[in-house]
Chains A and B, each alone.
Chain A
Amino acid sequence: MTIAIPATQAPRKFGIDVSKPVLYGFAAVLCVLIVLPLSWLLIYSLTDAAGHVTLGNFYRLFTESSFYDPLVTTFIIATSSAIICCAVAAPMGWLVARTDLPFSGVIRALVTASFVTPPFLGAIAWEVLAAPNSGLLNKIFRNVTGAEQDVHLFNIYSIEGIIFVISCYTFPYVFVLVANSLDRTPGELEDASSILGGGRWYTARRVTIPLVLPALLAGALVAFLQAMTLFGSPAILALPAGFHTMTTKIWSLFQYPPKPELAAAASLPLLVLTIILLRAESMILGRRGYSVVGGKYGAPRLIPLHRLRWVAFIVCLLVLMLPVFLPYAALFNAAFSPVATTFLTFQNATLHNIEFVLFELSAASLALKNTVILGGATATVGTVIAVVIAYVTARHAVAGWRALGFLATAPIAIPGIVLGVGLFLSYTRPPFVLYGTLWILLIAFVTIALPSAYQQLQAAFRTIHPELEDASRILGATRLRSLWQITAPLLRTGVIATWCFIFVGVMRELSAAIILFTSETKVISVLIYDLNESGDLGAIAVIGIGMLIITFSVVIAVNRIPGFGTVRFRT
């Protein structure tokens, strides 16, 4: 997650403005992508089943406990997750960025691993680990302490369990913001403090932490939004415990008999809250941006931890056991043991689940094909759109670039499930009957991916000074040629990174897909969700491991997810 910093250079004028049609073309596409589903949401929320204008949907939303209870639950979950994420990610980000923590690259890689792990897969793995009676950790606990059968240490089917699992897969967002911010904070400010007599810890407390605080607050907001809009984890863990969150409630309103008008009305509070919080975030980030821009930065001071180095490293590893090592081990156990929550031994190991997934599960190959096609197409289309818009806004190539930039970031305010509902309402009717095709999923995934892709590429453009293009133009190259020969090669790594980022995002996406899929357009995430509903944990484990292998292959092949263990995107 990178942050837009207000550009400082003056708008540049170009000769013949061939870009106008491009701008309007892209603006029109973006408008259709975003405005159409949101309009239908609004229309539906204000009409009853018979089509009359009414406020009754909202009245029900705020008077019936079956609606406002989930709202309160969601708020509790999101707030707690945000606090936990900050409490964990901020110290870890500081350790990695600013201290001589050993193997900080390993820590960053492990944070990347928890970032790319689909949250719903993590939730299922934690079921295997911490279901009150059959959970592996509870079994170990009872074996060690000799406790009674119904005594348990953890109960994942609880609000605490959900908060924990959501935090596991949300804290990377905070980590990246904090670590990036610390990476960028100029060393001079700390030097100044040292020269004036401040000790290392004093400097950290009085200079470094205040500088990074806005990024931390922004991280808290991002974590809050993530926790609020997740569908998979609460659906897997809250429903067995007997309560709803907003996302599962919206989804349940789509079950037979569908009540799209109530689903639309229930979507709007999420949308409004998201927009308010994002406004707050951009204000905070805007301030932070100004505070550190400018000047050549010295290398940040690394604080020696002395003997605490290894303690800190081990603590980091222990924390990262929770989103990475333990769940992966649980998936491995479930994949190869005869019953998911029986401890795997050499005697009981079985290939039954592998055989089932590879040779019997007839929906798997179609779902895999759809996922790969959608991943590739979304990544390609999303990257192209993001490159064009990032170029236009970074170079102010056409008038109205601000509006284009705003449109590209706007979808961040739309939770996946809300977008899914909106798209369903938009594209099941003429003139665009796209439901039942991969196109509707492509639209959903591109819309979801666009904001972060755009922000990443914008950051990439900022690292390339326009004087390089100018030099090429002065030497006689056309604009296209200088783009092709100068800008494109310099941007290559950024573009590839963005492509991968989107691809991985598509693998993780469940909340829009769960509303939009049909049997012919099922994707892997939906297949896993289906399998979870019928309790086929072994098959889920095999598919999940396969999914992780694909994801990690993509990540390792490129090894440049911005902000994670790479210096490419530091300014």
Chain B
Amino acid sequence: MTNFSRRDLLIGSSALAAGAAFSTQVLSAAPPASAVTPALIEAAKKEGKVVWYTSVDLPLAEKVAKAFEAKFPGVAVRVERSGAERVFQRVGQEYGSNIHAADVVNSSDAAHFIVWKKGNLLEAYVPEDVAKFYPAEHKDPDGNFASFRVWVCIIAYNTNLVKKEEAPKSYADLLDPKWKGKIVKAHPGYSGTIMTATYQMQRDLGWAYFEKLAAQNIMQVQSSADPPKRLALGERAVMADGNEYNIFQIKEKDGPVEAVYATEGSPLIVGPTGIFKAAPNPNAARLFCNYSFSPECQQLIVDVGGLRSMHPQTKEKAGRTPFKDIKVMKDDPAAVEKMSDEIKQRYSKIFRV
């Protein structure tokens, strides 16, 4: 198989300090900021379409696409949505066969961007908003990507099935025998959110935690967007992990769900966006990337999507726990990148799928 692998790309680069990709400001090689110009819009319209590989929950991705199309008529967005780990595999498999279908990519596993950057797959492009407003720790010093979205991976429960006072407060609570057979959980082999969260949880809580959780007869689904939906259906009472933003969406439409921010801390998930160098529609890609980081789009993913934005001009929606009040676990994409194969292996050994 001709796929590039993380291991191959790692050879000779093991000296790379953890977190370097995110935090090194020195020797910044980022190109100057690019604004949306009439010429860019014209060129994008000539291409007529943009293909967006993303792992954000599908209805939200399509809403962003529709908002973009409304603002820039004549440029159609095709959303290719799958779990971040699947998107990563898809890109690898397609590039391995010299297929360049993706224009813009957004992943919920920030480690993927380290791999793509090392593989020299990403175009350096800094949208105006990113240059002006985004904090340094949320943009690549070389301008390859920036944090399109941020959220936490949380516990939640169905309010029809669980009383507030009986709800779990921590990851440790989920090991209580009373939850046996009542927990739904997503998969790190599919979801970048869960991959990232599994890394942080095994680091902070140890693999022994997962071994005990596996004994609870969990229902294993794939996407981190799925556990919230299973809660809404009433299929399971509690979710051990899943997207905070889906819980917001469901709750604000009067769905019977409630978020729990575990006392141990909730895994912090960062979802960067970047452009591929070999993008078949390079101008439409730049336009879409630029739009992604605009206050307008960022406010949309906050209001409609329930995500957190790093754009300082966005406002948090009332009724949601403010981001600064949430105790989060520390994210570490470089470490996830090194450990991801091992995490997948250990996980499927413990949970058997």
Q: Please, what's the 1-or-0 string for B275-309, where 1 marks a CB less than 8 Å from any CB in chain A?
A: 00000000000000000000000000000000000
In the complex, which residues of chain B have a beta carbon less than 8 angstroms from the beta carbon of A243? 352-353
A533 with B353, Cβ < 8 A, contacts A150-B182, A256-B92 known: no
Residue in A closest to B76 when the chains form the complex, CB atoms:
A362
- Would B83 and A244 count as touching, CB distance under 8 A? no
- Would A360 and B59 count as touching, CB distance under 8 A? yes
Select the stretch in A55-63, A193-201, A387-395, A427-435 that faces chain B.
A427-435
Q: Which of the residues B63, B81, B351 comes within 8 Å of A534, measured between beta carbons?
A: B81
Cα-based distance from A26 to B234 in the complex (angstroms):
56
- Would A435 and B99 count as touching, CB distance under 8 A? yes
Cα-based distance from A264 to B219 in the complex (angstroms):
29
Interface hits, B74-105 → A, CB 8 Å? 76-83, 85-86, 88-90, 92-94, 96-99, 101-102
In the complex, which residues of chain B have a beta carbon less than 8 angstroms from the beta carbon of A66? 348-349, 352
Select the stretch in B126-134, B146-154, B222-230, B327-335 that faces chain A.
B222-230
Residue in A closest to B92 when the chains form the complex, CB atoms:
A256
Interface hits, A209-253 → B, CB 8 Å? 238-244, 252
Cα-based distance from A240 to B226 in the complex (angstroms):
11
A533 with B190, Cβ < 8 A, contacts A256-B92, A429-B2 known: yes
- Would A149 and B90 count as touching, CB distance under 8 A? no
Per DSSP, chain B at the interface is: mixed
Q: What residues of chain B have their CB less than 8 Å away from a CB belonging to chain A?
A: 1-3, 5-7, 51, 53, 57-59, 62-63, 65-66, 76-83, 85-86, 88-90, 92-94, 96-99, 101-102, 161, 181-182, 189-190, 217-223, 225-226, 229-230, 232-236, 255, 341, 344, 348-349, 351-353
> Smallest distance from the beta carbon of B226 to chain A beta carbons, Å?
4
> Smallest distance from the beta carbon of A508 to chain B beta carbons, Å?
22
In the complex, which residues of chain B have a beta carbon less than 8 angstroms from the beta carbon of A436? 94, 97, 99, 101
In the complex, which residues of chain B have a beta carbon less than 8 angstroms from the beta carbon of A539? 58
15 residue pairs A–B, Cβ–Cβ below 8 Å: A133-B235, A240-B219, A255-B189, A257-B5, A258-B3, A356-B62, A363-B78, A428-B97, A435-B97, A518-B90, A518-B101, A520-B99, A530-B81, A535-B226, A539-B58
- Would B353 and A239 count as touching, CB distance under 8 A? yes
Q: What residues of chain A have their CB less than 8 Å away from a CB belonging to chain B?
A: 66, 131-134, 149-150, 157, 238-244, 252, 255-258, 260, 339-341, 356, 360-363, 366, 428-429, 433, 435-436, 518-520, 530-531, 533-537, 539
- Would B101 and A519 count as touching, CB distance under 8 A? yes
Q: Which of the residues B80, B236, B351 comes within 8 Å of A133, measured between beta carbons?
A: B236
> Smallest distance from the beta carbon of A541 to chain B beta carbons, Å?
13
In the complex, which residues of chain B have a beta carbon less than 8 angstroms from the beta carbon of A134? 230, 233-235
> Smallest distance from the beta carbon of A125 to chain B beta carbons, Å?
14
Q: Which of the residues B1, B7, B218, B232 comes within 8 Å of A258, measured between beta carbons?
A: B1
- Would A341 and B219 count as touching, CB distance under 8 A? no
- Would B81 and A363 count as touching, CB distance under 8 A? yes
- Would A257 and B225 count as touching, CB distance under 8 A? no
In the complex, which residues of chain A have a beta carbon less than 8 angstroms from the beta carbon of B90? 518-519
